[in-house]
Amino acid sequence: MTARTGPPVAGRHSNPSGRRALPVVRSADTHCPYCALQCGMRLEEDAEGTVTAAPRGGGMCKKGWTSPELLDHPMRLTTPLLHGRPVSWDEALDHVADKVRRVQAEHGRDAVGVFGGGGLTNEKVYQLGKWTRLALGSKHIDYNGRFCMSSAAGALNRSFGVDRGLPFPAEDLKGAEVVVLVGANPAETMPPFMRFLQNAELVVVDPRRTATAESAQLHLQPAPGTDLALANGLLHIAIEQGYLDHGYIDAHTTGFDEVRQTAAGYWPAFVERITGVSVPDLYAAARLMAGKRTAILTARGSEQHAKGVDTVTAWINLALALGLPGKPSSGYGCITGQGNGQGGREHGQKADQLPGYRSITDPEAREHVAAVWGVDPETLPGAGVSAVELLRKCGDEVKMLFVLGSNPVVSAPRATRVADRLKDLDCLVSLDFVLSETAGIAEVVLPVTQWAEEDGTMTNLEGRVIRRRALRDAPDGVRSDLWVMKELAARLDAPGHYDTDPEAIFEELGRASSGGKADYSGISYERLDERTFQWPVPGPDHDGTPRMFADFKFATPDGRARFVAVDHRHPAERRDSVYPLYLTTGRVLTQYQSGAQTRLIPSLGGTPDSEQFLQIHPDTAVRHGIGDGDRVRVTSRRGSYTAPARLTADIRPDTVFSPFHFPGAANVNAAVSDVLDPISRMPEFKVCAVKIAPAARP
């Protein structure tokens, strides 16, 4: 099943240049370990143990090409650690199980929580949700995907009745005449995605002139936190200019009258005052979209706000009013970020969900899943809390936490407080393959497999289920997350069955998801060896669902899409005389997420983006006495970080920007806001008020 050839070969894993080619002794067709595009990749290992990666059926960015360098990195964890001391697996697992029993005996089942990750395979996600609710008996599980696409998920469910990032294949975008990118910078975050946009006129909405905006026909540069007003303003113009598809609205939607009334208040001059986008640019954007094959795509820039669900909803309203969803090479979609950001929220590691995107509060869903698990539905706990709220409870209601595939010490909002909360736990257990900043403060660290050492499935940004195939066995001393769950379940005398075979787990996942919105029941490893499938796939003879709304039928009770009236509201923090600037955050080309992996890869170092920086407008820098390259302290009401200034006119004068990949004194998330969206519970990463000043040199 795994496309492996040749005997196991031990050795270094690197990607040197200028060396004599040696015979390939082992190969595997798999996918890149990073973003949700999940580019196809072929791995080859030669007789000296050197692994190289090459694209398979598409392109790869620099991170994909260099990904083999991490496989046998000197920082690779290969033995369990207890209080920083190497111990045997038995000692580590016995210690963890004993801690679970003691904590739950004193504080109750919910005193132990789990924090998962959007990079885990579907098999790990599924078993982790099951393990938390049965083996631990706890309601407290959530994951870092809450920081990724949760606001779009909330909006998609509200408007369309189903959450799939792209409800059509990315290939369809090649036929679009216009693509509107809202808060998305794929030229840097997932460069191979740009090949789908080459035929379209681009409208980019971003407070910075990014690499993506450089290639746009029109760049709209709103103030951070004003995208909702911008979308409502464009809808106002579309109504005024007669751009609406009234036949579509009447036949396939409900709720437009209330949205029309709301949009009437967003006249262009008013929207210009809120957003800073000029009236002529507003009309130009609406004119570009009118009567054309247009796709509107949102990403983190529109989502990571305390009104993220409403902001995405406003863009969906615009798409519906123009009659786009369901038409060829048109519609609305969300660009998912993490490698398994889509699958990661479908099968049970989200606080309120069971496998198949079922609600954990739905009696029928509980009964169905409990039958697959062989337990009484009454034994399943209820809904837990979101990621930020789970981290806030650490040290208080939650006394022990398992962290898998995540690094919240760097990636969570108000990161300094998060680190303090984790240190207040009775026990922190980290499952990782490198000593991330979170693993570095854990009482127990368990070394687990990484992408090229495991089989499984991932679900990419199109809802496409794909196969991850192992190239080689894990190093001595390393175990899979699945094995760890099984061993701990046995020590805890837990109900339910826990497998270590990914194929067997995937088969069970299919049964548990059967009949749900994200139905994988018709997918098998055997079928995936032949082709990929976009869910739902409700039976073994079903070919999948590449285009969800091709018949203009939506997953709502009446089959119609929902317009939902939404109003602009200001960010939780506004600029003032003390904190006169907005801070916004994002990613850079050479780094990924918290940087725990990419910061270790030598080939990704030595570039301007391999260290923290502060992007600042030259006029703003002059007012604050800051020169290019000067170290700057950025301070919010929560905390501060330092970074060298990078002066550029590509950012608004009222805004500064830093990437979020860097730890310690350079961690921008020490300053960002942890105010939450009321529906998605997404933190407001993308806008908070700050002040800047020259920093003392080290």
Asked whether residue 370 falls in the same domain as residue 456, the answer is: yes
Residues 588 and 188: beta-carbon distance below 8 Å: yes
Find the helix or strand (DSSP H, E) in which 297 lies: strand 294-298
pLDDT at position 697: 65
Distance CA 671, CA 643 (A): 13
Please indicate, yes or no, if residue 442 is contained in any of the structural domains.
yes
Beta-carbon count within 10 A of 364 CB: 11
Query: Which residues, other chains included, contact 420 with Cβ-Cβ below 8 Å and sequence gap of 6+?
Result: none
Under 8 Å CB-to-CB from 503, ≥6 apart: which residues? 1, 455, 525
Is pLDDT of 16 > 50?
A: no
Q: Are residues 687 and 628 in the same domain?
A: yes
Across 377-402, average pLDDT:
97
State which of 335, 369, 387 marks the end of a domain.
335
Strands 40-46 and 51-55, how do they pair? antiparallel
pLDDT on residue 149 = 87
In this structure, what CATH number is given to the domain that contains residue 661?
A: 2.40.40.20
For 600-617, what is each residue's pLDDT tens digit?
A: 999 998 888 889 999 999
Contact 78, 19 (CB under 8 A): no
- CATH number, domain of 500, equals 3.40.50.740
SS3 398: strand
How big is the chain by its Cα radius of gyration, in Å?
24
380 and 455 belong to one structural domain: yes
Taking the C-alpha atoms of residue 456 and residue 621, their distance in angstroms, rounded to an integer, is: 49
Mean pLDDT computed over 323-329 = 97
In percent, the amount of the chain with pLDDT more than 90 equals 94
What whole-number distance in Å separates Cα of residue 312 and Cα of residue 296?
10
Taking the C-alpha atoms of residue 655 and residue 586, their distance in angstroms, rounded to an integer, is: 13
What secondary structure, in 3-state letters, does 609-669 show? CCCCCEEECHHHHHHCCCCCCCEEEEECCCCEEEEEEEECCCECCCEEEEECCCCHHHCHH
Q: Tokens for 277, please give them.
A: 């986008």
Q: Do residues 295 and 213 share a domain?
A: yes
Same domain, 616 and 502: no
pLDDT at 14 over 80: no
Query: Is residue 8 predicted with pLDDT exceeding 50?
Result: no
Residue entry with tokens 């579907």: 122
| Count of other CB atoms within 10 angstroms of residue 16 | 9
DSSP secondary structure code for residue 456 in this structure: E
Q: What is the DSSP string of 542-582?
A: ----SSTTTTS--SSTTS-EE---------SS---SSS-EE
Q: Is residue 177 part of a domain?
A: yes
Domain assignment present for 634: yes
User: Residue 32 is encoded by which pair of tokens?
Assistant: 């890149």
Rounded Cα distance, 681 and 441, in Å = 26
Amino acid at 300: R
H or E segment and range at residue 178: strand 178-182
Taking alpha carbons only, the member of 420, 397, 438 closest to residue 144 is 438
Q: Where are the alpha helices (DSSP H) in 118-226?
A: 122-134, 150-160, 186-189, 211-214
Give the C-alpha separation, 296 to 184, whole Å. 11
pLDDT of residue 263: 98
488, amino acid identity: L
Sequence length of the chain is 698
Residue 358 φ/ψ, nearest 5 degrees:
-90, 150
Helix axes 363-373 and 502-513, enclosed angle (nearest 10): 150
Q: What is the average pLDDT value for the chain, to the nearest integer?
A: 95
Instruction: Of 508, 530, 531, give the one whose Cα is nearest residue 521.
Output: 508
Given a cut of 60, whether residue 420 has pLDDT beyond it is yes
| Amino acid identity at 534 | Q
pLDDT of residue 698: 54
**Distance of alpha carbon 292 from alpha carbon 336, whole angstroms:** 25
**Are 29 and 56 spatial neighbours (Cβ–Cβ below 8 Å)?**
yes
Q: Is residue 262 part of a domain?
A: yes
> What's the 3-state SS for 338-354?
CCCCCHHHCCCCCCCEE
Q: What share of the chain in percent tops pLDDT 70?
A: 97
Both structure tokens of 213: 């905006």
Q: How many CB atoms lie within 10 A of CB 675?
A: 18
Whether 499 maps to a domain, the answer reads yes
Q: How many Cβ atoms from other residues are within 10 Å of residue 527's Cβ?
A: 16
Q: Is residue 237 domain-resident?
A: yes
Task: Estimate the crossing angle of helix 308-321 against helix 150-160, to 10 degrees.
Answer: 40
Burial-class residue 174 by CB neighbours within 10 Å (0-12, 13-18, 19+). Answer: middle
Cα distance between residue 136 and residue 489, in whole Å: 8
Q: Which residues pair with 224 in a beta bridge?
A: none
User: Is residue 280 included in any domain, yes or no?
Assistant: yes
Sign of CA dihedral 352, 358, 363, 369: negative
**Quick one: tokens of 689?**
């008020």
User: 256 has which bridge partners?
Assistant: none
> Given 475, 509, 534, which residue is the final one in a domain?
534
331 and 355 assigned to the same domain:
no
Instruction: Please tell me the distance from the alpha carbon of residue 354 to that of residue 351, in angstroms, as a whole number.
Output: 9
In this structure, the answer to whether residues 136 and 156 fall within a common structural domain is: no
Query: Does residue 329 sit in the same domain as residue 370?
Result: no
DSSP state of 526: H
pLDDT at 104: 98
Could you give the CA distance from residue 398 to residue 108 in angstroms, rounded to a whole number?
10
Q: Do the domain assignments include residue 15? A: no
Find tokens 């939650």 and name the residue. Answer: 398
Which pLDDT band holds residue 5 (cuts at 50, 70, 90)?
very low
Q: 440 with 296, same domain? A: no
State the residue range of the domain holding 615. Answer: 581-694
- Helices 308-321 and 256-263 pack at an angle, to 10 degrees, of 110
pLDDT tens digits for range 77-98: 999 999 999 999 999 999 999 9
What average pLDDT does this structure show over 384-409?
97
Q: What is the pLDDT of residue 15?
A: 41
Residue closest to 587 by CA, chosen among 647, 660, 519, 536: 660
Residues in a beta bridge with 402: 114, 429
C-alpha distances out from residue 528 to 43, 508, 531, Å? 18, 16, 5
pLDDT digits (tens, 9 = 90+) for 530-572: 999 999 999 999 999 999 999 999 999 999 999 999 999 999 9
* For residue 20, pLDDT beyond 70: no
Q: Torsion angle, CA of 479/483/485/490, rounded to 10 degrees?
A: -120
Confidence of residue 62 (pLDDT cuts 50, 70, 90): very high
Q: Residue 637's CB: how many other CB atoms inside 10 A?
A: 13
Query: How many domains is the chain built from?
Result: 3
* Dihedral sign computed on CA atoms, order 125, 128, 133, 134: positive
CATH label of the domain that carries residue 231: 3.40.228.10
Report the sign of the C-alpha dihedral through residues 77, 81, 84, 85, in that order.
negative
CA proximity to 648, closest of 173, 244, 210, 53: 210
- Same-domain status, 215 and 288: yes
Instruction: Inform me whether the pLDDT recorded for 12 exceeds 60.
Output: no
Q: What pLDDT, on the 0 to 100 scale, is given for residue 17?
A: 44
Domain shared by 302 and 176, yes or no: yes
Among the ranges given (334-338, 446-450, 494-498), the one the predictor scored with the smallest mean pLDDT: 334-338
Above 70 in pLDDT, residue 7? no
Asked if the model's pLDDT at residue 2 lies above 70, the reply is no
Work out the average pLDDT over 329-344: 93
pLDDT at 1: 33
Each residue's pLDDT tens digit, 630-689: 999 999 999 999 999 999 999 999 999 999 999 999 999 999 999 999 999 999 999 999
Among 335, 360, 378, the domain boundary falls at 335
Are residue 500 and residue 367 in the same domain, yes or no? Answer: yes
Q: Does the pLDDT at position 515 exceed 70?
A: yes
Q: Are strands 331-334 and 294-298 parallel, antiparallel or unpaired?
A: parallel
